[in-house]
Amino acid sequence: MNIQNLLLGIGGLGVLANVVIWILIMAALDRRGYKTNILWARFHFFKYMSAYKEATRKETGKPGLLFYFWIGSINVAAIAFLLAVLGPWA
């Protein structure tokens, strides 16, 4: 196994984690009484994310933990894919 395949695998896991976290954020919004639609989630992305951030900020004074996990997972995926494509081994 070479480094490029390892980085692509890490990037894929980052994307998978991002999707799971996004579903958990939508479930958290549903529990708080905010109606979400899984079929339209891609189009209402920023609306749902800001609603989650505001709801958790009202409850705890800071954005929820899932928000930070979502930011981390998308960054891991992006960095891994960029390194796999643009690295010296590419």
| pLDDT number for residue 24 | 95
Report CA dihedral (3, 66, 42, 10) to the nearest 10 degrees. Answer: 10
| pLDDT number for residue 32 | 93
For 13-60, the pLDDT digits (tens) are 999 999 999 999 999 999 999 999 888 888 888 899 999 999 999 999
Query: Alpha carbon 88 to chain centroid distance?
Result: 28
Considering only CA atoms, which of 73, 65, 83, 68 is closest in space to residue 16?
73
Q: How confident is the model at residue 88 (pLDDT cuts 50, 70, 90)?
A: confident
Q: How confident is the model at residue 90 (pLDDT cuts 50, 70, 90)?
A: low
